[in-house]
Amino acid sequence: MKIFPAIDLKNGKCVRLYKGEFSTSQIVAQDPLKTAQNFANKGAEYLHMVDLDGALCGDMKNLENVNKIIKDLNIPIQLGGGVRSLETIEMLLNKGLSRVILGTAAINNPSLVKEAVKKYGDKIAIGIDARDGFVAVEGWQKSSKIEYIDFAKQVESIGIKTIIFTDISRDGTLTGPNFEATGKLNDVVTCDIIASGGMKCIEDIKKLKKMNLYGAIIGKALYSGDISLEEAIIQGRL
């Protein structure tokens, strides 16, 4: 199982939110590049990034920091937040990004997903952020009427190979991921599922590993010291 340390960008800083609420934004690191380098030095094999400002407003706002990290790191990077057009996808991939994550755009503009998958294949992933079982959009501020399982099946049918699943009620809480919802998703689609939201201890990583998930994203627990990145990577490889 792949371990993805997370960097969420807001106003050029690394932050963590509580249950997706922007009013709870807490700076956990001042320098995104140094943070990314630190993760890489500890053995990270992949990096997960989100432009929170972009997710909220629909246009990437932390591109300068993103570019620096892509240029400096020699490990694959996936990024979401504010990606709403094929031009932005192409620009990011041309800069060396390994995988682009579509969220709101996948709900509001399904044809974009189809076109992107046709052109870029498995370099396109879908982020499914769920609140009470329904997909949330616009930086988690709005809930759609689409159930997360139904949406996963839709994107699977058009060729998506990777889904990042987040239970918003767990994100940033250090209370553990939603194992039930994540496991159900992993059972009903053939896509690679990356679990996100609420990781609190190494036992969570061990449990997700036993569930045969493709990957797990760890954010707040790394910054707080509740999970050691090195240990998580070891557990993911066992």
Instruction: Identify which of 8, 52, 19, 11 has the alpha carbon closest to the alpha carbon of residue 166.
Output: 19
CATH architecture of 2-237: Alpha-Beta Barrel (3.20)
Instruction: Identify which of 41, 52, 101 has the alpha carbon closest to the alpha carbon of residue 75.
Output: 41
Query: Which residues are tagged catalytic?
Result: 8, 129
Q: Is 64 exposed, middle or buried (0-12, 13-18, 19+ CB in 10 A)?
A: exposed
pTM: 0.95
Helix pair 179-188, 148-157: axis angle to 10 deg: 30
> CB count, 10 Å around CB of 34?
12
Residues in CB range of 168: below 8 A, 6 or more apart: 19, 20, 129, 130, 131, 136, 140, 197
Dihedral angle sign, alpha carbons of residues 43, 7, 231, 186: negative
Q: Provide the residue-wise pLDDT of the chain in tens; the chain has 238 residues.
A: 999 999 999 999 999 988 878 788 899 989 999 999 999 999 999 999 999 998 888 889 999 999 999 999 999 999 999 899 999 999 999 999 999 999 878 888 999 999 999 999 999 999 999 988 999 876 556 677 899 999 999 999 999 999 999 998 888 888 899 999 999 999 999 999 999 999 999 999 999 999 999 999 999 999 999 999 999 999 999 9
Amino acid at 144: S
C-alpha distances (whole Å) from 201 to each of 7, 31, 174, 183 are 18, 25, 8, 18
Q: Where are the domains of the chain?
A: 2-237
Instruction: Identify which of 157, 126, 131, 155 has the alpha carbon closest to the alpha carbon of residue 145.
Output: 131
